[in-house]
A and B are shown apart, each in its own frame.
Chain A
Amino acid sequence: MIPGRVLDVVGTLARLGLAAVWLVSGVLKAIDPDQTYIAVRAYDVLSPTAVEVVAALLPWAEIALGGLLLVGVGTRVVAALSAGLLLVFIAGVAQAWARGLSIDCGCFGGGGLVDPGETAYVQELLRDTGFLVLAVWLIVRPRALFALDSRLVDTGRT
């Protein structure tokens, strides 16, 4: 049996790791809104208006998820939202690959059409799957160290 303390440390690393992912990817998208629009448009799924809305909201949603994970508020629900968003990303990349589009995912800034030889779908999907593992850990076991959750909810533990 692995002691709870070790699991808490793993949970903390998962929480802070996923927080870092969202904060970095969100900030990189937020500082270049035109590039973010181009990246979202390149998936060729949404109508122009929907692309505008998604490109406008996505960077800030990512930053919000990252911030909430960083301080550890509502970790389980934020991890569930993160997993949902990651599944959407994975579906987006997979459909682009399946349809033979050659795009950069724009996961961490950049994005848009690239030359057919320059796609990196396998790496992008593996990376997103790795992030998904962090999110799933936190859904299953949100307890971690240095989390505000433990202060907001009096669990009776001391």
Chain B
Amino acid sequence: MGGASRNEKKRRQEAANQRLAAAGIRPPEKSSASRMPLIVVAVVLAVVVVVGLTVLISRSSGDVVPTYTASASGAVVTAGSGPVAIDVYEDYLCPACERFEQRYGDEITTALNDGQLTVRYHSIAILDERTDPPGYSTRAANAALCSVPAGVYPTYHKKLFDSQPAEGSAGLTDDELVAFGTELGAQGDFAECVRGGASAPAIAAETEAAVSDPALQTDGNFGTPTVAIDGTKIDLSNTSWLQDAIAGQ
């Protein structure tokens, strides 16, 4: 807007005000009171952003370096050697499992590192149909089982969740699964093991056993992630479930 038209507008406004004044009407003043609602809205939204980001930052986990060891039997990986044992059922494609790892991964790793906890990770593949082509859950679980003899399971398991592909996608390729292991220092014939898929039958059997175990179901359905202690599913909506378990409650 040029200066001329601004002056023109101002002049017209003044003329209009004069006419109103002549008629005995006082135009409402653009006082601070009329801006009050806008200020309230701005303050409320600013508080939302600050509080939301603060909660987000406080909740995001740092990176605890795993120092525990793991061994595999069939499709179950036993991590750590602490006195308290928990069973964790995860599918590498399951978004809720990714959330579970994001939320509790550091806490679990710390407890494993400190020798307070033993975790039996059950390799579950219930979402094989949710990639195109199907089968990522099984391929990822197989790769994770390969990472145990390769000596990198603790970091590889975390890496698979940190890099979780979206449901409906093709999933990570075998080459990518191999590359992650190589990056993390996998020993031996890791690449052949990943491409061979030899653990698929064991994963299918483990999945079948978990799905049909009534003790792991809620309302007749099995889902991942599921955590069980002494064969009984625990309620993960209790956010202090791990401290309670370690405290023996």
Q: What residues of chain A have their CB less than 8 Å away from a CB belonging to chain B?
A: 34-35, 37-38, 41-42, 44, 52-53, 56-57, 60-61, 63-64, 67-68, 73-75, 77-78, 81, 101-102, 112-113, 148-149, 152-156
Contact = CB atoms under 8 A, between A and B. Distances in A.
Interface string B38-82: 101100110111011101100010000000000000000000000
Interface stretch (B5-13, B28-36, B136-144): B28-36
A78 B38 CA distance: 9
Interface of B: 26, 28, 33-34, 36-38, 40-41, 44-45, 47-49, 51-53, 55-56, 60, 95-96, 99-100, 103, 130, 166-168
B44 A42 contact: no
A143 to B, nearest CB: 13
Given A64-B45, A155-B28, A38 B37 contact: no
Q: Which of A41, A56, A64, A68 has the most CB of B within 10 A?
A: A56
21 contacts: A34-B96, A37-B99, A44-B168, A52-B56, A53-B53, A56-B52, A57-B52, A60-B51, A60-B52, A61-B52, A63-B48, A75-B37, A77-B41, A81-B45, A113-B168, A149-B37, A152-B36, A153-B33, A153-B34, A154-B33, A155-B28
Given A34-B96, A68-B44, A81-B45, 19 more contacts: A42-B166, A44-B166, A52-B56, A53-B53, A56-B53, A56-B55, A56-B56, A57-B48, A57-B49, A57-B52, A61-B52, A64-B45, A73-B40, A73-B41, A113-B167, A152-B37, A152-B40, A154-B33, A155-B28
